[in-house]
Structure 1
Amino acid sequence: MTQIVLTNATIVLEDSVVQGTVVVQDGLIRDIFSGKVVAAGAVDLDGDILMPGIIDLHTDNLERQVLPRPGARWPSRSAFLAHDAQCAVAGVTTVFDALCVGNLNFDDEDRIQTFQDGVKDLTALAETGLFKADHLLHLRCEMPAKDMLRMAAPVLDHPLMRMVSLMDHTPGVGQYADLERYRKRRGIDGSSLARIDAEIAELQAQRARLRAPNRQALLELVRARNLVIASHDDETIEEVEANAADGINISEFPVRLAAATHAKAMGMTVIAGAPNIVRGGSHSGNVSAADMIAADAVDALASDYVPPALLEAAFAIADSGVPLHRAIGFVTTGPARMAKLNDRGRIAPGLRADLVRVRRVAGLTAAVSVWRQGSRVA
């Protein structure tokens, strides 16, 4: 029997914050009680915050470890371990590795290799004991892509497969609705305006042919496996209603406030980007996540591309006047419920001892210690 006693902590529970002690036994939370314990082996947290381990439903961080510079691909499994370590030290104990499936002629040839290598690496590394965080699969599927179904279908039965999101990054819709912004982004690599406009026309025609049949086929495959399904970059009320009609109950990164509030009104849950909170707005010129929270149109945050953003964003929300337990819930309880992870996301007896000790100094928020299933990982 392995027991850990964490005492003199500011404990963030699902519905309150208390001063007290958490007892961990054999990887699970055994007990929570008020007051400080003075006993051999007890770890005094000096009043630091003790919160549940963060659950990240969507991170692209692996892509940045695989390609730290354009054209400089890093050895795949080494990159995966670097990604894992960055998540753990940020307090993320459960990671949904969001791998892009389908080529729409951006940098997606690299992304396809990252997807293929990522699935192989996760399979190989999951049972080695090298991971600090718990890794699960999230496939980000490009609906208009020619090769999406062929690539996604074999992975849907992977034992770590949990979530699928339906994306459409065609220029002129969703995240890339602003074509001038899209042209500027594509022009960074030196592409001529004529070439970019030809690409736009080609991708829009491809969308008209493939999006609907690909979407229908993928939804049938996913429903048969009872996986969590999310839409991605919802822009209009009509899109939200179509998603709800198809049984999709998560709206991930809606790009307009009207889409987010309508999704909530339809009974869907909503994921916003934590970097949007930290940076003070969207990097793509879309809706502010802070405005979505003010409208009560957010249930969870995801790191998207910066794992440390989750912790920082949660405390920024608390600093804005939201009660701490509710702010922390955006990165713990909310994601756990969306992903049907009933064994984590809260500090409660019988749940996994995924825990983060947090200290705030001079306006900075840092994860000081991280435990996954009672074992110290950072």
Structure 2
Amino acid sequence: MTQEMILANATLVLPNETVTGSVVVRDGMIAEMDQGAAVPAGAVDCEGDYVAPGLIELHTDNLERHMRPRPKVDWPHQAAIVAHDAELASVGITTVFDALRIGSILSDPSKKYGKYARAVADEILSMRDSGGLRISHHLHLRAETCSETLIEELAEFGPEDRVGIVSLMDHTPGQRQFTDLSKFEAYIRGKYAMDAEGFEDYVAFLHGLHDRLGKAHEEATVAEAKRFGAVLASHDDTTAAQVATSAGYGIHLAEFPTTVEAARANHAHDIANIMGGPNLVRGGSHSGNVAAMELAELDLLDIISSDYVPSSLLFGAVMLGQTWGNMAKGLHTVTAAPAQYTNLTDRGRLEVGLQADMIRFRLTEGVPSLRAAWHKGVRSA
């Protein structure tokens, strides 16, 4: 039986412009589009609200927050996945790449953190395949090169897992995200209630790991991403030299470059810059790195990630639309651009023949308020 829905009298967010018009959805696909404010019989009158493609999230740590809501509290994973899925749906995200850390430290009890990615990936994939989730879930493996078990954990995944993104992460203190060691000290000591002597020992331990295993881990990650068929991303690039290394590896996405220098170098190598929605909304980086809005004003920002605040994805895109004076360009950073760079050709745009992943929202005092969301034409929020 054919399922049909018509959204009419809407401000349609197209790839390069916004127009007043309507969208007809049949059996989960965009079947027709037209311009004008007419509201046919049986259509939903959107009253001028924006109708845009569903949001695509490439890097979020939100699932980990649901699995570990308090220190030493391990929440049942299936329940955490369902809650995470519902939260993302509620803010207009219709496709997510769930970021899972791979690479653990097991040798030192005082610094130990264990592996979890393979088990959680199995749970996500099982719940996805059984139809228990509201939106589309893909895997994003965050490969921690400053760890002990990265190569073994990478080997637990294969092409059958359809890993979408693998990101090279190097959190060795004193460079990249934490070039300012005092910022790293404040973060670590605050998070783990660590004293000054313990912090110095921790830094020395991490530097030793990096010197001993970092290069081998980096090369293994690049090779495994190719085996998976995944898009390779860099993380926290700071210098043009680091970007040149990324380009040599075939990287196409740069997550959270920390300087204007790195962002410019990424564009010179045709690498897309991803910046955090929280950075945009807050007006700056919590680590003291370059502000996302500064890159936006230099036309160096390509994609937004909500990172650790799911609601920042739509809010950040609207802020960019207002800053650029072009709402279509702002929404492009969370729809068509992330779809393009992760080879999702069936979504990310309002276009006849594409999957009906869509959102409806309006602005209230400049802040977006989600009215509805659909995934494959089915109401998700």
Deviation at residue 116 of structure 1 after TM alignment: 3.8
Q: Which residue of 2 aligns with 1:242?
A: 245
Report the Cα distance in structure 2 between the residues aligned to 1:42 and 1:305, rounded to whole angstroms.
Answer: 37
Report the Cα distance in structure 2 between the residues aligned to 1:262 and 1:57, rounded to whole angstroms.
Answer: 21
Contact 1:100 1:111 in 2 (8 A): no
Matched, 1:334 2:344: no
Report the Cα distance in structure 1 between the residues aligned to 2:66 and 2:338, rounded to whole angstroms.
Answer: 24
Q: Which runs of 5+ in 2 are unaligned?
A: none
Q: Which residue of 1 aligns with 2:14?
A: 13
Q: Which residue of 2 aligns with 1:146?
A: 148
Per-residue CA distance 1:51-79 (angstroms, 9 max, x = gap): 00000001110011111122222111101
Structure 1's 322 and 145: CA in aligned 2 closer, same or farther, altered over 3 A? Answer: farther
Structure 1's 346 and 248: CA in aligned 2 closer, same or farther, altered over 3 A? Answer: same
Deviation at residue 153 of structure 1 after TM alignment: 2.1
Contact 2:135 2:375 in 1 (8 A): yes
Report the Cα distance in structure 2 between the residues aligned to 1:326 and 1:106, rounded to whole angstroms.
Answer: 49
Deviation at residue 226 of structure 1 after TM alignment: 2.7
Contact 2:20 2:36 in 1 (8 A): yes
Q: Which runs of 5+ in 1 are unaligned?
A: none
Report the Cα distance in structure 2 between the residues aligned to 1:326 and 1:38, rounded to whole angstroms.
Answer: 27
Contact 2:8 2:43 in 1 (8 A): yes
**Structure 1 segment 10-49 matched on structure 2, within 5 A:** 10-49=11-50
Q: Which residue of 2 aligns with 1:308?
A: 311
SS of equivalent residue, structure 1 residue 310? helix
Structure 1 counterpart of 2:326, one-letter code: P
Q: Which residue of 2 aligns with 1:71?
A: 72
Per-residue CA distance 1:284-325 (angstroms, 9 max, x = gap): 111100011111112111111111100000111122233110
Contact 2:255 2:273 in 1 (8 A): yes
Contact 1:253 1:271 in 2 (8 A): yes
Structure 2 counterpart of 1:129, one-letter code: G
SS of equivalent residue, structure 1 residue 166? strand
SS of equivalent residue, structure 1 residue 47? coil
**Structure 1 segment 174-323 matched on structure 2, within 5 A:** 174-188=176-190, 189-323=192-326
Report the Cα distance in structure 1 between the residues aligned to 2:252 and 2:315, rounded to whole angstroms.
Answer: 27
Deviation at residue 160 of structure 1 after TM alignment: 3.5
SS of equivalent residue, structure 2 residue 153? helix
Count of aligned positions: 377
Structure 1's 86 and 195: CA in aligned 2 closer, same or farther, altered over 3 A? Answer: same
- Greater CA deviation, 17-26 or 150-159? 150-159
Contact 1:257 1:292 in 2 (8 A): yes
Match of 2:168 among 155, 166, 170: 166
Report the Cα distance in structure 2 between the residues aligned to 1:159 and 1:72, rounded to whole angstroms.
Answer: 28
Contact 2:162 2:228 in 1 (8 A): no
Match of 2:373 among 346, 370, 375: 370
Deviation at residue 199 of structure 1 after TM alignment: 1.3
Structure 2 counterpart of 1:147, one-letter code: T
Contact 1:271 1:298 in 2 (8 A): yes
Q: Which residue of 2 aligns with 1:94?
A: 95
Report the Cα distance in structure 2 between the residues aligned to 1:106 and 1:299, rounded to whole angstroms.
Answer: 41
CA RMSD of aligned residues (A): 1.7
Report the Cα distance in structure 2 between the residues aligned to 1:44 and 1:130, rounded to whole angstroms.
Answer: 30
Structure 1's 203 and 320: CA in aligned 2 closer, same or farther, altered over 3 A? Answer: same
Structure 2 counterpart of 1:157, one-letter code: P
Report the Cα distance in structure 1 between the residues aligned to 2:55 and 2:111, rounded to whole angstroms.
Answer: 29
TM-score by length of 2: 0.95
Structure 2 counterpart of 1:374, one-letter code: G
- Greater CA deviation, 314-323 or 268-277? 314-323
Structure 1's 13 and 25: CA in aligned 2 closer, same or farther, altered over 3 A? Answer: same
Percentage identity across paired residues of the two chains: 37
Per-residue CA distance 1:302-361 (angstroms, 9 max, x = gap): 111111100000111122233110000000011001101011000001111000000112
- Greater CA deviation, 84-93 or 60-69? 60-69
SS of equivalent residue, structure 2 residue 57? strand
Per-residue CA distance 1:185-222 (angstroms, 9 max, x = gap): 22223322112111111111210111111111221222
Contact 2:24 2:33 in 1 (8 A): yes
Q: Which residue of 1 aligns with 2:81?
A: 80
Per-residue CA distance 1:249-273 (angstroms, 9 max, x = gap): 2211111111011110122111111
Deviation at residue 111 of structure 1 after TM alignment: 6.8
Q: Which residue of 2 aligns with 1:59?
A: 60
Matched, 1:124 2:136: no
Report the Cα distance in structure 2 between the residues aligned to 1:108 and 1:85, rounded to whole angstroms.
Answer: 33
